[in-house]
Amino acid sequence: MCHAVSPLGDGGFPSSYTCPTDGLFPAGWVLPVVPQTPLNPPQSPQTKPAVRQSELHVASTRISGAGDVPALNPSATRFDHKVFRKVLTASTSTDNWSRWFKDLQVSPNTSEIVVEAPSGFVANQVKARFLREVEEAARSAGAGTSPLGVRVTVNETDAVRSSNGHAAGAPVPSVEKTTESPAKRHPSNFHRFATFEVGPSNRFAHAAAWTVAEDPGIYNPLFVYGASGVGKSHLLYAIANHARRRHPSLVIRYCTAEAFVQSFIQSVGRRRMEDFRRRFRQVDMLLLDDFQFLEGKEQTLEEFFWTFNSLHQDGKQIVISCDRPPRDLTAMEDRIRSRVTGGLLADVAPPCLETRLTILRRLNAGHSPPFSPDVLSMVAERITDNVRDLQSALRRLSAYSTLVNQPLTPQAASELLAPLSGFSHSAPTPEKIIAACAEAFDTSVAEILGRNRRPIPSAARRVAMYLTRELTDLSYPRIGKAFGRDHSTVISAHRGTLAQISTNQPFAERVSAIHSSLHTH
């Protein structure tokens, strides 16, 4: 399901608007239909140009300090737009020109330069990131030395055109209605940056997410990866919630990869691909969760590829979460992996002990009576993989404490958590897995790590690589390093073992026995 983020500060929805099922976040509840007029109507020499701009936040933005923008030279007979473009392109890049500047209209006069953008999103980007470059380009294009204001505005006609995907006055496509409650259509207010526990394992990803929410487009795309339950979805929700409050005009869509696939399949079946493309391409920010779900879905990946290109070329922010880094998405084409790695990669590792304790203390604050510090310490030490397991453990302890109406001791809590898979033991190391496989196949660790190609050591090696991939968060290259091989060998061993498990029952039972032994020692 796609979740919509309401533009209203309290997350509510006005009675006059029904939120669409597809999770689209409108730029505003009511968009005026502006008659289509020439962007640069002819002016008589005696008449000053009419002002058609809609200001963004304040009447004007003036650069102060040593870098004040100078006024246009009164002796200049015309503002040289070609020079302005050439200098601005040289000081930024051709890509930035295509992304941010090509649709700008620059209207200099004796007191200021008015930079007119086609949308609020582009205007915000120019104001936040490129005013200095605009200043320098203005100087080169005919500016003098007097202080000159730079005013960034929005072209009303283009703004209406871009907000609904059609020219002003054109019919707007109908949107499917929904009977779903508003609470289910947008990220929970709990999923905010304020409720995300920051520690050494996630500090970089948190900072990157905050920056993207504050300044969309600065890191594009942002690719957040990490094991299940470490807080990736929380970060995506937090970005959407914060950006919704920080930039109310932005059209934001959060969607899981599974919902993206289902929407694509339905659109193909109903022959409504144009609706699908409008839904996912006419946004200012797309947040796609659980990207790994697209692996093996070739037609959906093809559509995602062109959706990504469309958004990226228009300077729209893309945020992706995944359970592994792009290089480990081996079932995806190189062109897709190269696209999603073109921005910023940020990993979220399992929380450290201190962070786990902090999370448990926060969760414990809502429990009556609260658990003792000794119980919390025991849980933090025993559960190391992710935040979701911490929450599940505390819920189990809370339910038991409420039902028996007795305070929990650390020993009782330990016994309660022991039957739960993954709670009693942390993930095994590659060394432990290799030793277990050597014992099960009656060979040695040296033969597994060596170049011996005899059947038994080779089979033990392949199973050890398979189990290391399944039971740890290590990437293929890191597993290869542990075994003294390259990542392609590990991929081949993993796939081969998986295929053998599905067709060879005795072999499957042998691998299962090794797997179980790793969680009982």
> Residue 23 falls within a domain, yes or no?
no
Is the pTM above the cut of 0.75? no
Distance CA 360, CA 353 (A): 11
> Residue 237 falls within a domain, yes or no?
yes
Residue 330 and residue 189 share a domain:
yes
Mean pLDDT by 10 residues, the chain (521 residues): 42 39 41 38 40 34 33 48 77 67 69 71 71 74 59 56 37 31 45 86 91 91 90 93 91 92 90 92 94 90 94 94 90 91 90 86 79 85 81 83 76 76 62 92 91 89 91 84 91 88 80 76 51
Cβ–Cβ < 8 Å for 315, 95: no
Task: Look at residue 241 in the predicted model and tell me its pLDDT.
Answer: 92
List phi, psi (to 5°) of 145. -110, -5
Task: Look at residue 212 in the predicted model and tell me its pLDDT.
Answer: 94
In total, how many domains does the chain have?
4
Instruction: List the CATH number of the domain containing 491.
Output: 1.10.1750.10
Helix (H) or strand (E) segment spanning residue 461: helix 455-471
Residue 195 and residue 248 share a domain:
yes
- Final residue of a structural domain among 308, 330, 347: 347
> Residue 179 falls within a domain, yes or no?
no
Task: Look at residue 448 in the predicted model and tell me its pLDDT.
Answer: 92
Task: Look at residue 28 in the predicted model and tell me its pLDDT.
Answer: 39
> Residue 33 falls within a domain, yes or no?
no
Residue 224 and residue 131 share a domain:
no
Residue 151 and residue 295 share a domain:
no
Residue 201 and residue 65 share a domain:
no
Whole domain around residue 236: which residue ranges? 185-347
Instruction: List the CATH number of the domain containing 231.
Output: 3.40.50.300
Task: Look at residue 90 in the predicted model and tell me its pLDDT.
Answer: 74
Residue 512 and residue 406 share a domain:
no
Residue 197 and residue 336 share a domain:
yes
Cβ–Cβ < 8 Å for 494, 330: no
Q: Please report how the helices 430-440 and 476-483 are oriented relative to each other, as an axis angle in degrees rounded to 10.
A: 60
> Residue 197 falls within a domain, yes or no?
yes
Task: Look at residue 437 in the predicted model and tell me its pLDDT.
Answer: 94
Task: Look at residue 222 in the predicted model and tell me its pLDDT.
Answer: 96
- Final residue of a structural domain among 347, 366, 392: 347
- Final residue of a structural domain among 160, 195, 215: 160
Task: Look at residue 498 in the predicted model and tell me its pLDDT.
Answer: 82
Residue 325 and residue 192 share a domain:
yes
> Residue 26 falls within a domain, yes or no?
no
Residue 218 and residue 144 share a domain:
no
Residue 80 and residue 106 share a domain:
yes
Task: Look at residue 469 in the predicted model and tell me its pLDDT.
Answer: 87
Residue 253 and residue 377 share a domain:
no
> Residue 39 falls within a domain, yes or no?
no
CA distances from 178 to 21, 22, 273, 433, 489 (A): 6, 9, 20, 51, 50
Residue 329 and residue 299 share a domain:
yes
List phi, psi (to 5°) of 256. -80, 155
